[in-house]
Amino acid sequence: MIHNRITLAHLSDLHLSGRNDRRALSLLAKMLRHFNAAGIDHLVISGDLSDVASPAGWAPVRDVLREHGFWHFDRATVLPGNHDLINLEEEMRIYNALNPFPENRRQALREKVAAFCGMFGELMAGGSGAVAGFPFVKVLHFSGISLAFVGVNSVWPWHRSDNPLGARGFVDPSQLRALLSPDVAAALKESVVVGLCHHALKVYGTSSPIDQAFDWTMEMINHAGYLAVMKKLGADVLLHGHFHRFQSYVIDGVPVINGGSFRYAPDRYSEMVLAPDGTFSQRFLSIS
């Protein structure tokens, strides 16, 4: 079959609380059945899969994806969110009792990222033996259209004063440098380019001091640097979550879609239909 259009479904912020979260798991299964019935080509989940920052929290998501045919490089792409990697209670306990040194918190985050990649590597690097890590570039060739995902990890380590909720985002400059390598530009040539991160590029933007205080805890600190790199790579669209609202906006000429939160609206998702030239139509849909 010739594909000259690719249909992408985008979910975010599932916030499953583990295997006993039966209601959310069954709603997720229902959504995946809908995607199969609707002929969705590929699913993106842009982080905060779970509220339990551990493999025990992520595994039910892996299992439900597998049961519904989405456990394959070609079928789905996932990213971690702050709730997948940072357990606030643990951070506070360590801060109060043990060793709060920032380097230890950075190391703890690196280990969590490695564990996440160990579980979800199939959906990031594929089963080819390539090591899953960040940034990653995956290029999918459908007949008539080539689709490239560029994924970064935007979760920043917890810090008592700089990141007290663990919710501020930052894309490590080493990831941005890696994306500027000529190999990446060569790999993306001829593809529709979809950038993926967890954190929002824009949060609120109101003048209310309360909202601004909230913005500070949620923002992606170096969103301008991230955006500049994605523009250099010719990104056709950027997808994210984190800020639990379904939104579509344009920032510096680049379309951005916020996949909202499945946790709070489990019948809603973003659907994108992409053409080979990178143009697309997007809408938020509700299933009954």
Site for Fe ion (CB under 5 A): which residue of 8, 11, 13, 46?
A: 13
| Interface pattern 103-142 for Fe ion (x via CB under 5 A) | ----------------------------------------
What number of residues does the chain have? Answer: 288
Amino acid at 39: G
The nearest distance, CB 51 to Fe ion, in angstroms, is 9
The nearest distance, CB 12 to Fe ion, in angstroms, is 7
Does residue 51 touch Fe ion according to CB under 5 A?
A: no
- The tokens for 155 are 């979760």
Site for Fe ion (CB under 5 A): which residue of 50, 77, 82, 154?
A: 82
Size of the site for Fe ion (CB under 5 A): 5
Q: Which of 231, 171, 238, 251 is nearest to 8 (CA)?
A: 238
Does residue 57 touch Fe ion according to CB under 5 A?
A: no
Cβ-based neighbour number of residue 198 at 10 Å: 28
Segment lying near Fe ion (by CB under 5 A), choices 55-63, 76-84, 127-135, 211-219: 76-84
The nearest distance, CB 53 to Fe ion, in angstroms, is 11
Does residue 48 touch Fe ion according to CB under 5 A?
A: yes
- The tokens for 271 are 């659907």
- Strands 136-142 and 192-196, bridge-based pairing: unpaired
Does residue 242 touch Fe ion according to CB under 5 A?
A: yes
Phi and psi at residue 155, in whole multiples of 5°?
Answer: -85, 130
Which residue number, 191 or 258, has a Cβ lying nearer to Fe ion?
258
Site for Fe ion (CB under 5 A): which residue of 57, 81, 195, 260?
A: 81
Beta bridge partners of 8: 42, 272
Segment lying near Fe ion (by CB under 5 A), choices 24-32, 75-83, 172-180, 203-211: 75-83
For residues 129 and 116, what is the distance between their CA atoms, to the nearest angstrom?
16
Does residue 215 touch Fe ion according to CB under 5 A?
A: no
Segment lying near Fe ion (by CB under 5 A), choices 8-16, 62-70, 136-144, 275-283: 8-16
Segment lying near Fe ion (by CB under 5 A), choices 100-108, 131-139, 152-160, 234-242: 234-242
Does residue 163 touch Fe ion according to CB under 5 A?
A: no
Does residue 84 touch Fe ion according to CB under 5 A?
A: no
The nearest distance, CB 153 to Fe ion, in angstroms, is 12
List of residues contacting Fe ion (CB under 5 A): 13, 48, 81-82, 242
